Amino acid sequence: MVAPRANWKGFIKFGEVACPVALYTAASSSERIAFNTLNRKTGNRVKREFVDSETGDPVERDDQVKGYEIENGQ
């Protein structure tokens, strides 16, 4: 197992007394918990699907990109 590394190191100084301080992350990505979205009434998992607003067809994950509106409709 790899020893944790500090993201930041520095000192806190109170008058003439300085104490070393190190900042560590609280959780690692390997310990990340993933939650499922459930239907409250049935307890079944909910499936998320992205749909084209013009055609109504589902859009595959590989065809999805991010963008922002620079003018109305563009």
The per-residue pLDDT for range 3-22, each reduced to its tens digit, is 778 899 999 999 999 999 99
Please provide residue 51's backbone torsions phi and psi, each rounded to the nearest 5 degrees: -125, 140
Give a yes or no: residue 45 inside a domain: yes
Give a yes or no: residue 73 inside a domain: no
- Is the pLDDT score of 2 beyond 80? no
Question: pTM of this prediction?
Answer: 0.40
Residue 1 pLDDT? 62
Please provide residue 23's backbone torsions phi and psi, each rounded to the nearest 5 degrees: -105, 125
Total number of domains constituting the chain? 1
In 3D space, the residue among 46, 49, 47, 65 whose CA is nearest the CA of residue 57 turns out to be: 49
8 A C-beta contact, residue 58 and residue 49: yes
Give a yes or no: residue 54 inside a domain: yes
8 A C-beta contact, residue 8 and residue 22: yes
Residue-wise pLDDT tens digits, 22-41: 998 876 666 677 899 999 99
Residue range of the domain that includes 51: 36-64
Give a yes or no: residue 17 inside a domain: no
Residue 29 pLDDT? 65
